[in-house]
């Protein structure tokens, strides 16, 4: 088993056939030292690496990795407020990078129109090239005209515009733009990655490097302006939510007192799914052949013939998603179904229906693998938002259940000092041993999500545990 400390291979030890081949720990800091300045000091000296979530876990698959979660979030909003579809609605958001770039396609797949703001034209053009974004407008006026026309015509359309969200959001509020949904996926989790008003993109790196503390304060003031506008849209009747990038906390630090008037996306829309152990399940074709992903898509639809929602997602992904790196797919599956899918993929390898082994993993954003009070564990029913025992137990359990590699990270998604989370990945190589490991691992891992939510007092999680035989000693 290889040990990796913040990206550095530090040792190899003899273990056993069921042990992971790799164990990774990234970005983990002791409480009082879990700050951005201390992290940056260590990073500059080569002592620590920011693992984010899937990147440092060697299972990053590009924008698709967050696409279905974003799609599910907007689908939940459509069910909650708009009769099941976003047709005839307009969404305003910011941030069109590697993760935020999933937003325009997620909205249009749900039938809506979306205006997305980013300071980088290159980022917007990249999303157009990858087919996540329809077009980039020349001006804000042009962008507004396009999305309002699409809204009137109940037509799906995504439009990007170059600008600073801290400037554009207040301007659109001042104009009285008829917006239905407002969110944000700028890199607010790291203030040095959020461009303040008054600083040009060309000056960004130089300013952030020369005076990181001063730059951070400027970024927080700008975030406060953006969040103040988001609350203005909330007051006007829009559906407004935080997409888990800590922008509310940064805005509060920047001086805005109503930053937490709108909720995070997990308590607002996703927690009922977490209670069932539902979460992101991803797989990668080691052959590099996209045809292998097409085989898995078809086989998964045969395995779950009555899951119309899954079928719609797989069809949409096959049509719209361009692979980044090795061919990969993601879908959300729950307790019981993940193990079935893992065994299916192992059979596909054993029978030669795909041309090489398949790697199976997930995001750290899952039902039982993260403690993140501003995102996945915000507003837990029992107040246990910050209890970090759960992701550590998750990593210990997956290590004991046959995973091929397991990771424990700190600070992913929401920034240093705000989260602890774990990931697991396994290889379906077609062998009997792999089948045994996959069944054990892909049962136990989502089972952690069920018991975590049972422990927090969620009735739906209790029902799922009883229905599916999840053993919980303190439950009668």
Rounded to 10 degrees, the C-alpha dihedral 28/31/37/42 comes to -40
Does residue 93 sit in helix, strand or coil? strand
pLDDT by residue (tens digit) across 152-194?
Answer: 999 999 999 999 999 999 999 999 999 999 999 999 999 999 9
- Classify domain 270-468 by CATH architecture: 3-Layer(aba) Sandwich (3.40)
Order of strands, sheet of 113-118, starting from the edge strand that comes earlier in the sequence: 135-136, 157-162, 113-118, 90-94, 181-182, 239-240
As a whole number of angstroms, the distance between CA 213 and CA 25 comes to: 27
- Report helix, strand or coil for 448: helix
Tell me which residue of 282, 271, 273 sits closest to 54, measured CA to CA: 282
For residue 363, pLDDT beyond 70: yes
Q: Exposed, middle or buried, 347 (CB in 10 Å: 0-12/13-18/19+)? A: middle
Distance CA(262)–CA(268), nearest Å, equals: 9
Token readout for 120 is: 């980088």
- How do residues 62-109 score in pLDDT, each as one tens digit? 989 889 889 989 999 999 999 999 999 999 999 999 889 999 999 999
CA 129/CA 147 separation, integer angstroms = 20
Is domain 85-262 annotated with CATH 3.30.1510.10?
Answer: no
- Asked if residue 43 lies in contact with residue 51, where contact means CB atoms within 8 angstroms, the answer is no
In the chain, domain spans? 85-262, 270-468
Q: What percent of the chain has pLDDT over 90?
A: 96
> Residue 296, exposed/middle/buried by CB under 10 A (0-12, 13-18, 19+)?
buried
Which pair of structure tokens corresponds to residue 162? Answer: 């170059």
Cite the active site residues.
331
Closest CA to 185 of 86, 55, 63, 85: 63
If pLDDT is split at 50, 70 and 90, which confidence band does 17 have? very high
Predicted pLDDT at 68: 87
CA distance 192 to 187: 9
Residue with tokens 């700008």: 222
Q: What's residue 269's pLDDT?
A: 93
Task: Say yes or no: do domains 85-262 and 270-468 share a fold.
Answer: no
pTM attached to this predicted model:
0.92
């Amino acid at each position: 088993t290889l040990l990796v400390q913040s990206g550095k291979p530090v040792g190899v030890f003899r273990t056993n056939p069921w042990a992971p081949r790799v164990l990774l720990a990234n970005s983990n800091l002791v409480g009082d030292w879990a700050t951005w300045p201390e992290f940056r000091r260590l990073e500059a000296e080569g002592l620590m690496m920011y693992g984010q979530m899937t990147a440092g876990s060697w299972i990053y698959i590009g924008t698709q990795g967050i696409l279905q979660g974003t799609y599910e979030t907007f689908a939940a909003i459509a069910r909650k407020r708009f009769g099941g579809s976003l047709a005839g609605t307009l969404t305003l958001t910011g941030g069109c990078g590697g993760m935020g770039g999933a937003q325009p396609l997620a909205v249009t797949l749900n039938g809506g129109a979306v205006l997305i703001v980013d300071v980088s034209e290159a980022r917007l053009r990249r999303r157009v090239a990858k087919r996540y974004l329809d077009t980039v407008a020349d001006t804000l006026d042009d962008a507004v005209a396009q999305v309002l026309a699409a809204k009137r015509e109940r037509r799906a359309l995504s439009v990007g515009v170059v600008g600073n969200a801290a400037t554009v959001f207040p301007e659109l509020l001042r104009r009285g733009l008829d917006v239905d949904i407002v969110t944000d996926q700028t890199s607010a989790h790291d203030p040095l990655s959020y461009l303040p008003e008054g600083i040009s993109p060309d000056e960004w790196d130089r300013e952030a490097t020369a005076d990181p503390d001063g730059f951070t304060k400027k970024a927080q003031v700008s975030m406060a302006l953006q969040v103040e506008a988001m609350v203005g849209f909330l007051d006007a009747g829009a559906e407004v939510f935080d997409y888990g990038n800590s922008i509310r906390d940064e805005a509060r630090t920047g001086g805005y007192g109503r930053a937490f008037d709108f909720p995070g996306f997990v308590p607002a829309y996703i927690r009922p799914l977490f209670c069932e152990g539902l979460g992101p399940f991803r797989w990668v074709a080691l052959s590099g052949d996209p045809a292998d992903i097409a085989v898995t898509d078809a086989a998964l639809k045969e395995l779950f013939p009555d899951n119309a929602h899954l079928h719609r997602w797989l069809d949409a992904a096959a049509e719209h998603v361009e692979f980044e790196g090795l061919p990969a797919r993601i879908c959300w599956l729950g307790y019981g179904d993940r193990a079935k899918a893992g065994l299916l993929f192992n059979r596909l390898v054993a029978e030669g229906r795909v041309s090489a082994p398949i790697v199976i993993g997930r995001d750290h954003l899952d039902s039982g693998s993260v403690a993140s009070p501003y995102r996945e564990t915000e507003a837990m029913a029992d107040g246990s938002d910050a209890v970090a025992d759960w992701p550590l137990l998750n990593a210990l359990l997956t290590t004991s259940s046959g995973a091929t590699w397991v990771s424990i990270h700190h600070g992913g998604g929401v920034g240093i000092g705000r989260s602890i989370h774990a990931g697991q990945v396994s290889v379906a190589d077609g062998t009997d041993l792999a089948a045994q490991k996959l069944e054990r691992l892909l049962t136990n891992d989502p089972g952690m999500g069920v018991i975590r939510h049972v422990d927090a007092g969620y009735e739906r999680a209790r029902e799922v545990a009883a229905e599916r035989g999840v053993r919980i000693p303190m439950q009668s």
